[in-house]
Amino acid sequence: PSNNKLQSAQLGDQFSSTGFILAAIGSSVGLGNMWKFPYITGMYGGAAFFLVFIGCLIFVGLPVLLAEMAIGRGGRGSAVSAFNTLSGSKYWGAFGFLAVLGAFAIMSYYGVIAGWTMHYSLISITGSLFENADYTSTFGSFVGGYTPLIWTVIAFLVTGVVIARGIKGGIEKFNKILIPGLMILLVILMVRGLTLPGAGAGVEFFLKPDFSKLTTQSVLVALGHAFFSLSLGMGTMLTYGTYVHRQQSLGKAAVAVGFGDLMYALIAGLIIFPTIFSYGIEPGQGPGLVFMALPAAFAAMPLGNLFGFLFFILLAVAALTSAVSLLEVPVTWAMDKLKMSRAKAAFWVTLICFIVGIPSALSFGVLADFAPGGKTYFDWFDFISSNVLLPVGGLLVTLFTGYAWKRAGEEAGLTGPIYKIWMFLLRYVAPVLIIVIFLFSLGVIKF
Ligand code: PHE
């Protein structure tokens, strides 16, 4: 009887309407918004880049986002069986499996960075971060040691426990508390950033467009980031879509998620640029920006350890709500294909993903020299998942919805001219652009 109860709980486990939107925002708002977006904006032309990013989000991101949600709800299963059910052929599902692998691969190293952010919130509040003003070497010796492994375990534990508790009682609850909480943290930090002396220069850098800096390369980076930021091509939105009830408007949900993602990125920029400009730090520093540059600013401001703590907690929360959506993809797959209970699937997927992620956690230390082709284990996982599996998954979604699935418009709730525009974008615009980014990121074409 207990087994029966579990089965029916699984099948009836669905998001509420707001719960789904918050969970999807939680998935999309992640390290991409808080950590990657600011540094690529710094590198590729500030506000001009931001405008291009908005365009990519609206014209390519939103249509694909809606398509993924619709496939999930229409097919009701995992990223594999949804394609099979809707197409009536098993070949599409085989491609869907690439998305399951992609989500798994991203999570294996995403959990490591989530761990870094938790460590940094702790050492900010205790003040030990500020004992040595050489933040580059602090970061280097932290990621080069074994401490990241402990934090990776914690990140995976939190993620696994939330998923094991189910859609409504776990994932929805987690996001319902944390996503509004995230907004409060963002606003506090934005007010702090904007009231620092000299903050105006940062705002100007971020929001005043300089189109002379815009290159083809920056456009491609913006497009790739729009995909990553909306969590597309990895089956995450598809998997969440599986748990959406029939009455919910997917079009409205997609617009809300796109808008939410943009808002969080905008505010993250309004925290980071004013803060670093105010303390004379270079914006175009690359991935180390938040871990190596921002601590100097926190050290110099009054109550800096508190603001530093809030900032890194913000990153941790953003990372964990995305991590949950990533790991849910293989968990739903295991429930669906291997007929496991949710608890069992959550346990095994979390454990195996953690084990696969161990070398990523050590890629900055003992395994730093193990770098075939000039990339460490961590770099390879990032490269293959973000630059290969993600575009392939995105292409699959656009081609499937645009050409193979005849009832897509019905499921997405689109008719008339809006449907025609959606189809046009999915059939011609998105696939061509995805193929161009793909070839570009593989180095096959250069600009
Ligand atoms: N969108 C997340 C971020 O911005 C990352 C992510 C990618 C999550 C793909 C799920 C799937 O950090």
Whether residue 336 is contained in a domain is answered as yes
Q: Is residue 229 part of a domain?
A: yes
C-alpha 232, offset from chain centre: 9
Whole-number Å distance, alpha carbon 195 to ligand 1 midpoint, is 31
Protein residue whose Cα sits closest to atom 9 of ligand 1: 231
| Cα 130 to averaged position of ligand 1 atoms, centre (Å) | 30
Does residue 98 contact residue 323 with C-beta atoms inside 8 Å? no
DSSP-assigned letter for residue 352: H
- The ranges of the chain with pLDDT < 50 are 1-9
pLDDT reported for residue 8: 37
**Residue 331: what are its φ and ψ, rounded to 5°?**
-65, -45
How confident is the model at residue 407, as a pLDDT? 93
The answer to whether position 447 is within a domain reads no
Pair 322, 158: CB distance under 8 Å: no
Q: How far apart are alpha carbons 330 and 353 in whole angstroms?
A: 10
Establish if 403 belongs to a structural domain: yes
Distance 443 CA to ligand 1 centre (A): 23
- Going by C-alpha positions, the residue among 45, 13, 12, 377 that lies closest to residue 221 is 45
Q: If you ran DSSP here, which 8-state letter would residue 428 be given? A: I
**If you count them, how many residues does the chain have?**
447
Backbone angles phi, psi at 209, to 5 degrees: -70, 135
User: Residue 163 phi/psi, 5° resolution?
Assistant: -65, -40
Ligand 1 atom nearest 33 alpha carbon: 4
pLDDT of the residue at 1: 32
Helix 430-441 × helix 216-229 angle, to 10°: 110
Q: How far apart are CA 261 and CA 275, in angstroms?
A: 21
The interface predicted TM-score (ipTM) is 0.97
Instruction: Tell me if 446 is assigned to some domain.
Output: no
Q: Annotate 248-305 with DSSP letters as a single string.
A: S-HHHHHHHHHHHHHHHHHHHHHHHHHHHHHTT--S--GGGIIIIIHHHHHHHSTTHH
30 CA distance to ligand 1 middle (Å): 6
Predicted pLDDT at 43: 80
Has residue 112 been placed in a domain?
Answer: yes
**Ligand 1 atom with the shortest distance to the CA of 35:** 12
Total domains present in the chain: 1
Q: Report if residue 168 sits inside a domain.
A: yes
CATH number, residue 37:
1.20.1740
- Using alpha carbons only, give the angle 349, 148, 190 rounded to the nearest 5 degrees: 100
The predicted structure's pLDDT at residue 317: 94
pLDDT attached to residue 27: 97
- Is 102 within a domain? yes
- Contact yes or no for 163/170 (Cβ under 8 A): yes
Pocket probe mutation, ligand 1, options 322, 324, 332, 390, max atoms within 8 Å of Cβ: 322
- 411-425, pLDDT tens digit by residue? 999 999 999 999 999
Distance between CA atoms of residues 95 and 387, nearest Å = 16
Q: What is the pTM of this model?
A: 0.93
Here the tokens at position 286 are 């690359």
Q: Which domain holds residue 429?
A: 2-441
Whole-angstrom distance, CA of residue 88 vs CA of residue 101: 22
User: Residue 146, class by beta-carbon neighbours within 10 Å (0-12 exposed, 13-18 middle, 19+ buried)?
Assistant: exposed
Q: How far is the CA of 302 from the centre of ligand 1 (A)?
A: 33
CA of 233 to the centre of ligand 1 (A): 10
Ligand 1 pocket, residues with Cβ under 6 angstroms? 27-28, 30-33, 106, 228-229, 231, 234, 236, 322, 325-326
Q: Across the chain, how many H-helices and E-strands are there? A: 23, 0
User: Which residues have CB under 8 Å from 11's CB, separation 6+?
Assistant: none
Distance from the CA of 179 to the center of ligand 1, in angstroms?
Answer: 15
pLDDT at residue number 5: 36
- Of 35, 225, 231, which is best to mutate to test ligand 1, by the most ligand atoms within 8 angstroms of its C-beta? 231
